Amino acid sequence: MKTYYDPSIFEYSWEGVKNKDYIIATYYIEDFLDGVDFLDHLSKVQEMVLEGSTGSWIDIKEETPGVREKLSGKLLGYYEVPAPKYGKRAIIQLAFPTAAWDLNANIPMMLLSVAGNIFVFSKKVRVLDISFPESLIKKFSGPKFGIDGLRKLTGVQGRPLLLHIIKPKMGMTAEETANQVYLTALGGADFAKDDEMCSTVFNCSMEDRLTAVLKAVEKAKKKTGRELIYFVSITDDTDRIVERAKRAVEIGAKGLLVSYPIGFSALKAITSNPDISVPVLLHPSNMLGLIPTNSYVFLAKMARLCGADILLGPSYWGATPPVTLEESIRWTQVVRSPLYGVKPMMPTIGGGAHPGLAEIYIKEVGINHIIASGGGLLGHPEGYTAGARAWRQAIDSVVNDVPLEKAAEKHIELRNALKYFGYYKRPRTPWLYISPEFTPKVFKDDDIRK
């Protein structure tokens, strides 16, 4: 007798796959059928599981019980979310056996299991999170530098790092680019990076730009005693990008920028190559377009697994926030969390960032992150060097618990930046208990739990 629900899929729990070779993905799904009172959501989940592993839309004789038991996905959790009439909403957790593809730690095949045809079944599906077994993690090298390595390279401890985004996106000559980096280096920027739209342009090759910027960095170092690290864009087709990365390192690059269109697999090819021994910054670019169906927590974990030292990501306070407040904070936390010895990745937030937002950024994310600023640095009324100084003054004041308005009384660059860009205080939600009216006054007036 064939039951409605296959035991090889449904008769599992977290304990049943614990410490075994499964990746576990968490999803939000919802389905609605107007006028239909009986919605069998578990049957829908069963089809999703089989599509991500062994099955088709109809039974095939070669898909034996043994094949399903070994290779099919497993439902570990189904948690219903209240839904309007004629609808079903749920959080589900599915485990997929790595035996299907793990001989070579195969990223594309992993994504096919977790985030492939699964999207064609429910009206709305979103991958929320992913968890890896230790046996799989050990097959990846992860970031070469991570947070500690980046701090060692820069010599900076105890504060967020400042990244100058080179603007305009493209069109400058190599010499113009170098001059801009030189000026922000004088102001105290720790890093500079090409805009993701710039790689090799008709009037500015990667090689010429890199050579010119490295000279400017050395010139600034003689004045400041500190060496800015420049992330040069090497984004290219997958059959050329590793050689291009090697070429940049040969010229003297201290950092590489790649954009997500290359894919996680190409990122892994770069970061795992022993000849490419510099930090790699991943720009999300069109990865942001995946957010309706893939949470940034999931995407950021994949970037870390594939070796990015730095990931630029969305902030609720950015120019175009594509995520909620909680997701914008949570992704920065998980990339720094313990992961079977894999180095933590440095999160980077930006997009419309200016010194008036420094307090919000730093107090939400902490000191182990990079603030990326283009227009909010270069647009300073007194120029590029003043823009970098204003940012450094803002960062230092927040880290030392000095209000920005107070610090601005001492620092003219910061004062003019706040006057020009504005200063933003983070809104507060006055609650502690379920009933806000019973929240102690001290919590309404100030946050005493620091």
Q: Which residues are identified as catalytic? A: 167, 283
Amino acid at position 183, single letter: L
CA 70 to CA 63: how far, in whole Å?
11
DSSP track, 321-358: --S-HHHHHHHHHHTTS--TTPPPPEEEE-SS--GGGH
* CA–CA distance, 232 with 214 (Å, rounded to integer): 10
Count CB neighbours of 242 within 10 A. Answer: 18
CA angle at 67 for the pair 80 and 3, rounded to the nearest 5°: 50
SS3 label, residue 256: strand
Retrieve residue 24's tokens: 């576990």
Neighbours of 113 (CB within 10 A): 22
